[in-house]
Chains A and B, each alone.
Chain A
Amino acid sequence: MLVNNRYHRQMLFDPIGETGQKRLQESHVVIVGVGALGSSSAEMLARAGVGTLTLIDRDYVEETNLQRQQLFSEEDVRMQTPKVIAAKKRLEEINHLITIYAEVIDAGVDELEAIAPEANLVIDATDNFDTRLIINDICQKHHKPWIYGACVASYGVTFTVLPGETPCLHCMMDHIPSDGATCDSVGIISPAVQMVVSYQVTEALKILTGNLDTLSGKLIAFDLWKNQQMELQVASLKDDTCPSCSKKQYPHLTYQAQLKTAVLCGRNTVQIRTNGKKVMHFEEIKKHLERNQQIKLFSNPYLLSFEIDKYRVVVFGDGRTLIHGTKNVQEAKKVYYQYVG
C-alpha cells in the first residue's frame, strides 16, 4: 500500500498527474553540491519520486553545517562522514524505491563530463562560480537544462538555463564577483536556502514532467530580511557572440583543467588536487604519519584526517587534500608535501 499511496497527493496536482509521475520515475537528476541547497533539493526530489539521483560533493559533514543542511546529523559530524554518503543513507530511509548514486568527488570538468550526459537535468547547489561555469559549459555542450541557485545571508537568486533558448550564465555575468560575501563571512539563514530550493525544484518538476510552457523564464532574486522580491525578464541578455552558448567554444572547460589548488572561501582552507586519477594509499600515508607522536590521526573508509601544529589535513580517496588552518596556497602546499607527499 505504501508504494501505491506514496505519490498520491502529488498526482492529484493536475499538471503532474499520473503521466507526470511516471516521467519523474524515469528521470535522472544530477545535484552538484550537497550542502544546504543540495540537501534540500535532494530531499524534495527523492520524496517526489525522481527515479535516479546522482549526488556530487567533495566535502564531509562539519558541525557548522547542521544549522541548515537538513540531511545531516550529529553522528555524521562525529564520523566526519562525506556529505554524499550521509545524504544517500538518509534519503534511502525516506524513499527506498529510487536509485541514488553518491560521488565523493570534486565536480571538475572530467567528472561532470562523465556524469552530466546521463542526466535529464542538472541542479546547481555548489558554493562557487568556478564550478557553476563548468556546469554552464558542460550543459551547453550536452544540451542539458540546468538550474542556477545561490544564497548568502537572507538573499537568494535563481535562474533556469535552457540551452538554445535562454541566456546562459556566461551571457549574464560580466565578471566573477570578488566581494568576499560568502556563507562563511556574512552568514546564511535557512529560509533563504529553502526559498531558492523551492524555486529550483518547482522548475525541475516542470521540466521533468514536460510542462515547459510554465517555466518562469525570469531571473528571480529576493531578500527575505528586507522583504524584497525581484523578477527580471532577461531574455534580451542572450548574447549571440557568447563563447559558451552561441559560439560553442566552452571556455570554462579548458580554463578549469589548469586549476590545481583552490582557496575555499571563508573556511581558512586550501584544497589541493593531484594530477589525473591518482589514488591515495591511506595505509601507506597512515604508516608514515603514525611515527610522528605529535600527529593525531583519524580515518574512515573515505578519508584520512590528521592534525599537526595549527593545521588539520584531510586526504580523500580521489586524490584531493584539504589543508585547514591556512588561506595561503604556498603554505598549504608545504604542509601537503611535508605530510602527504
Chain B
Amino acid sequence: MEIIVNGDPLEVSEGITNIEELIQELRLEKKSLIVEHNQTILKKEKHKDTAISEGDRLEIVHFVGGG
C-alpha cells in the first residue's frame, strides 16, 4: 500500500492498518507528535482507531527542543 507522508510517497506493509501502527513502524512513538490525516488533525487517542488506506495523505510534525 502506498501513502503520502510529508509530501513523499511511502510504501507500507499490509500489516500496518492504523495510524498508531504506522507511527511505531516509523519509530516516532517516543516523539511528541501532531498528525494530520487527509487534512484533519488527529488527537492522539484517535490514532489507534483511524484506519490507513491506499493513497492517504499524512503530515507528521514532531516537536524538538534544540536551538
Do A and B associate with each other?
A: yes
Task: Give A contacts to B, CB under 8 Å.
Answer: 33, 35-38, 124-129, 132, 149-152, 155-157, 172-179, 181-183, 188, 219, 221, 223, 226, 228-234, 236-237, 265
Q: Which residues of B contact A236 (CB under 8 A)?
A: 41
Q: Is the CB of A152 within 8 A of B34?
A: no
- Complex partner residue of A127 from B32, B59, B67, CB under 8 angstroms: B67
C-alpha gap A127/B44 in the complex (Å): 25
Minimum CB–CB distance from B20 to chain A (whole Å) comes to 13
Across the interface, which residues of A come within 8 angstroms of B31, CB to CB? Answer: 177, 179
Known: A126-B67, A173-B63, A232-B59. A237 touches B41 (CB 8 A): yes
Chain B nearest CB, measured from A224 CB (Å): 13
Give residues in B with beta carbon < 8 Å to A.
6-8, 30-34, 36, 41, 43-44, 59-67
Residues of A within 8 A of B65 (CB): 127-129, 132, 150, 152, 177, 182, 265
Taking a contact as CB atoms under 8 Å apart, the answer to whether B66 and A182 are in contact is: yes
Q: A179-B31, A234-B34 are in contact. Are A150 and B61 (CB under 8 A)?
A: no
Residues of chain A lying within 8 A (CB to CB) of residue B66: 127, 150-152, 181-183, 188
Interface centre among A149, A175, A230 (most CB of B within 10 A): A230
Separation of A173 and B32 alpha carbons in the complex (Å): 6
Q: Is the CB of B63 within 8 A of A232?
A: no
Contacts A174-B44, A219-B34, A228-B8 given; indicate if A149 touches B63 (C-beta within 8 A).
no
Alpha-carbon gap, A234 to B27, bound state (A):
23
Q: Report how far A147 CA is from B13 CA in the complex, Å.
A: 39
In the bound complex, do residue B30 and residue A177 qualify as a contact, i.e. CB atoms below 8 Å apart? yes
Structural contact, B67 and A232, CB atoms closer than 8 A: no
CA distance A168 to B67 in the complex (A): 19
Given A35-B67, A127-B67, A232-B41, decide whether A177 and B62 contact each other with a Cβ distance below 8 A: yes
Q: Which chain A residues lie closer than 8 Å to B44 at the CB level? A: 174
